[in-house]
Structure 1
Amino acid sequence: MTKFSDLALDPRVLKAIAEAGYETPTPIQAGAIPPALEGKDVLGIAQTGTGKTASFTLPMITLLGRGRARARMPRSLVLAPTRELAAQVAENFDIYAKHTKLTKALLIGGVSFAEQDKLIDRGVDVLIATPGRLLDHFERGKLLLTGVQIMVVDEADRMLDMGFIPDIERIFQLTPFTRQTLFFSATMAPEIERITNTFLHNPVKIEVARQATTSETIEQRLIELTPTRKDQAAKQKRELLRAIINAEGDACTNAILFCNRKTDVDILAKSLKAHGFDAAPIHGDLDQSQRMKTLDGFRDGSLRFLVASDVAARGLDIPAVSHVFNFDVPTHSEDYVHRIGRTGRAGRKGVAITLATPADAKYLDAIEALVKKPIPRAEAPEGFELSDAAKRAPRKEEERKGGKSDRRRGRGKKDERAEAEAKPVEEVAPRDEAPKAETKPRERREEPRKEHREEPRKERREEPREERRDRKERETSPVVGMGDHVPDFLTRSFRSPQKEST
């Protein structure tokens, strides 16, 4: 069996590996490290959770042991699709390079440009970045990529899903042609294959597992629910999920729960917290500080349930995750492999439970076609029944039908008429019988207002009255025609006197 000591790694790196408690490399590490140390391009294909990060971090530290970084010109570049994965690579670098003098910079969103610019200006050996933030620094003139000797693309298929491929191609073109490229992916989509053929030079291909396979250490279950109402499907699934978690008991020490949409992540996290479960959301719309705080809490055990979108499905190294729940069936079959790969890592046992409705049939078929085997079906927990609230129409529909909303927005006209008819006549006092004591103060208050209003009105009306009278006289006076009253100038002759004399 191969050990790390058998690989031609830097002694300082081997010391750090031993202190971290590792002795035997994983298959992807044993296959990728030797050619990487020889300076060859590497194309690594392995399922998530197999140790791909160390397979490029360890040879990179060894190769960069000699040389010195220059300002604004990093010597190596690591591209990651998400902030969390980039931060995780940075943590691994700190662990394995702690006995060396190599420096690093982490360029991700949610952090001020000024702090990152200071690190780049000093000069760094390793630059770890997401594609968008890297190009932002380059376009601002703060970064040069002409000194990159080693370039790593991690989770390339996730880059494809997130639309980063055009950015990756542009970054490749900004780096030297003579660079060494290490390319890692869990699946090999046609677009990924095109990029590798374009930018990698005779790569050594290491494929340690069949593409898109699930780990044997993961117990998979599929629990199907047929909602009684389509508009209450999410609510009924939440009730089923809570029943499953309670049924798992102490075996569920912690879990990641995946939703397809960010809004559903927030809703599910709030629902779990409202029912006494320690849960917090994580997705792309949250601030970076909040995302890192939530992840740190989940890693150290202070947070039990992490409700996530697919931003957390790739590359996050959280070894001791007992359960993964797919609250929503993923629409992309590859995401199923990456989601459940968050559990059952490093030889541990894990459980992956997926909730499905009849509407998810086509997605389930695609997943089972990808993994080449059916997902084992399981029953709902014994004694589980939907509550009456989950079977009724949602609140909005009740409000449209005149339910609870009548109290908030005012009752309907029919109810008002019924109440008015039901009231005794004695309660409605006629206006004529109103006490005089109440009317006197009103008259006193109104008198000065009337005098005040009449004065300006008289002033405004005095002038228009005369004009109006003149207008009426002009309109009623008879119109003088052309008959008996022909003007004198019309009867005069206009012929010239010379013509008259002739």
Structure 2
Amino acid sequence: MSFSNLGLSPKVEASVEAAGYDIPTPIQAQAIPVAVSGRDVLGIAQTGTGKTASFVLPMLTRLERGRARARMPRTLILEPTRELAAQVAEAFELLGKNHRLTVALLIGGVSYEEQNKKLDRGADVVIATPGRLLDHLERGKLMLNSIEILVVDEADRMLDMGFIPDIERICKVLPFTRQTLFFSATMPPEIKRLADNFLHTPERIEVARPASAASTITQRLKKAVDHPAEKREALRSLIREHKIQNAIIFCNRKKDVGVVFRSLQRHGFNVGALHGDLDQRQRTATLDAFRSGEITLLAASDVAARGLDIPAVSHVFNYDVPVHPEDYVHRIGRTGRAGREGYAAMLVTPKDHKALKAIEALLREEIAWVDGAPDPQEAEEARGAAREGGRGRRRGGRSRRNGLKPADAQSEASSNRRSGSSLADASADDSTNTAKRSRPARKTADADTRSDDRSAAREKSAARDRPAARAKPAPREKSAPKGKSRSGQARENQPVGMGEHVPAFMMRPVRAD
């Protein structure tokens, strides 16, 4: 099948041919005819299968008739990240060069002035992240009552980033008669409910099982120690073992992206960094350098895990096991795109085995180890030690467990040092617990006596710590005459009234009228 059989206009077919596309991908072959006809589409396909062209090409065909008015765009495309939005804008420039369409890119990190100018001239296509789009709506710079086509791209990523309430707000102000296209690589229950609310009898197109990896990607696991320095050394050795054209290294946290970037830079690797805290100019420059080959390695957070089209990525390394299993599918989807072969490896520490099992359950297959699978008993003991260590830190920074193995005791002492306790304190606790276990049992009477003594001591301590009851203030006593103590003064000799002390003003003679 070719693009000429999908119902596209001659202008669009010429643009596709000029771009070098010959055969549509499965998602394109099934989604484009439905989208051209005006029906809603719910598309599920692996990342890297050409979902962007699945909505750009039919949109170009339908936009050939009519023009947009000022601040009233005709189509809206929602993307979870700035990079994805910019990438879709580039696709419109490439495939829509035969069309005189105005495209407005509304993303954060860019001044409002340039965006307002495009909206004022009339934008046929608005490509936006939800936050910046709502900003323009609240400022009164944009009206959505003329939207003909709505595209929600990477819908599951919208869920992960907390954009679902924003999407619901946006959909409520859109015309009811619009066409809606949903595209995603995974379809969790929350996204399915959202699709049921805002799509009208959609055509469900599923060219691959949700959350499945491409068969062209070789996946491997490598054992690592849960120590930052040794884990970074394992990453460097993993990179040196392969002939890399370029590679993306994924970390769970932005802080770790910076640590890995500086470590690889110190060891002579050509590396760049990409995460959400960088401003838009830095992020764009880093991506452009990676695409052009100026940067060989890219240490990145999950901001680079969804939809970025960099076809020549040869390797993907997961420095951290992702928290959500679906993120693993998106990460390794940066390699092996468009039928190319790719390689993905992941460092796994003993505490990561539970998350690894969730990933393998999602993929419905086991991932091979490059250095032999770990002993299941050792992995279970490591997970138990990590859980107990976490409970000990929550109880106050010191573990209450007895009978630790030497390795576990050392790990426990390290946890105590991190939480503020010293190694000596941890050792003293272990010694005290051992001594308590080694004491012989006393007689019952002695145990009862000790129990009573402890109860009495606790009551005495509680009474001492309890704040004293506030007593009723005693009436102020009269001062005793000079030279006599108050305690030795007889009651009958106590002065009445002011006694011998009479103020001088009361001794003045009073003039009678």
Q: 1 CA distance for matches of 2:109 and 2:164?
A: 22
Corresponding residue for residue 42 of structure 1: 41
Matched, 1:155 2:154: yes
Matched, 1:245 2:239: yes
> Which of 227, 230, 238 does residue 236 from structure 1 map onto?
230
Q: What is the Cα deviation at residue 14 of structure 1?
A: 1.1
Q: How does 1:63-462 map to 2 (within 5 A)?
A: 63-225=62-224, 227=225, 230=226, 233-248=227-242, 251-379=243-371
* TM-aligned CA distance change 1:247 to 1:169, over 3 Å: same
Q: What is the Cα deviation at residue 131 of structure 1?
A: 0.2
Amino acid at match of 1:167: D
Q: 1 CA distance for matches of 2:343 and 2:31?
A: 30
Q: After the TM superposition, which segments of 4 or more aligned residues of structure 1 sit over 3 Å from their partners?
A: 482-494
Q: What is the Cα deviation at residue 88 of structure 1?
A: 0.4
Amino acid at match of 1:203: P
* TM-aligned CA distance change 1:492 to 1:262, over 3 Å: closer
Q: 2 CA distance for matches of 1:489 and 1:184?
A: 100
Q: 1 CA distance for matches of 2:56 and 2:31?
A: 11
Q: What is the Cα deviation at residue 290 of structure 1?
A: 0.2
* TM-aligned CA distance change 1:29 to 1:489, over 3 Å: closer
Q: Secondary structure at the match of 2:211?
A: coil
| Structure with the larger RCO, 1 or 2 (CA within 8 Å, 6+ apart) | 1
Q: What is the Cα deviation at residue 244 of structure 1?
A: 1.3
Q: What is the Cα deviation at residue 56 of structure 1?
A: 0.2
Amino acid at match of 2:182: F
* TM-aligned CA distance change 1:493 to 1:267, over 3 Å: closer
Q: 2 CA distance for matches of 1:488 and 1:3?
A: 122
Q: 2 CA distance for matches of 1:170 and 1:483?
A: 86
* TM-aligned CA distance change 1:71 to 1:491, over 3 Å: closer
* TM-aligned CA distance change 1:98 to 1:366, over 3 Å: same
Larger-gyration structure (1/2)? 1
Q: What is the Cα deviation at residue 6 of structure 1?
A: 1.4
Aligned length: 396
Corresponding residue for residue 449 of structure 2: none
Normalised by the size of structure 1, how large is the TM-score?
0.75
Q: 1 CA distance for matches of 2:287 and 2:83?
A: 9
Q: 2 CA distance for matches of 1:99 and 1:489?
A: 111
Q: What is the Cα deviation at residue 175 of structure 1?
A: 0.6
Q: Secondary structure at the match of 1:346?
A: helix
Q: 2 CA distance for matches of 1:149 and 1:259?
A: 39
Corresponding residue for residue 401 of structure 2: none
Q: What is the Cα deviation at residue 15 of structure 1?
A: 1.2
Corresponding residue for residue 465 of structure 2: none
* TM-aligned CA distance change 1:365 to 1:143, over 3 Å: same
Q: Secondary structure at the match of 2:126?
A: strand
* TM-aligned CA distance change 1:100 to 1:358, over 3 Å: same
* TM-aligned CA distance change 1:98 to 1:362, over 3 Å: same
* TM-aligned CA distance change 1:488 to 1:163, over 3 Å: closer
Q: What is the Cα deviation at residue 302 of structure 1?
A: 0.7
Q: 2 CA distance for matches of 1:378 and 1:154?
A: 35
* TM-aligned CA distance change 1:224 to 1:12, over 3 Å: same
Q: Secondary structure at the match of 1:267?
A: helix
Q: Secondary structure at the match of 2:339?
A: coil
Amino acid at match of 1:127: V
Q: 2 CA distance for matches of 1:190 and 1:211?
A: 12
Q: Percent identity?
A: 63
Question: Gaps spanning 5+ residues in structure 2: where?
Answer: 373-410, 423-497
Note the alpha carbon deviations across 1:95-117, whole angstroms, 9 max, x for none: 01001111100000000001100
Corresponding residue for residue 451 of structure 2: none
Corresponding residue for residue 459 of structure 1: none
* TM-aligned CA distance change 1:271 to 1:147, over 3 Å: same
Amino acid at match of 2:170: I
Amino acid at match of 1:103: T
* TM-aligned CA distance change 1:485 to 1:64, over 3 Å: closer
Q: What is the Cα deviation at residue 188 of structure 1?
A: 1.1
Note the alpha carbon deviations across 1:156-193, whole angstroms, 9 max, x for none: 00000000000001100111000000011111111111
Q: What is the Cα deviation at residue 490 of structure 1?
A: 9.5
* TM-aligned CA distance change 1:483 to 1:374, over 3 Å: closer
Question: Gaps spanning 5+ residues in structure 1: where?
Answer: 381-390, 402-481, 498-502
* TM-aligned CA distance change 1:487 to 1:168, over 3 Å: closer
Q: 2 CA distance for matches of 1:252 and 1:335?
A: 23
* TM-aligned CA distance change 1:247 to 1:141, over 3 Å: same
Corresponding residue for residue 52 of structure 2: 53
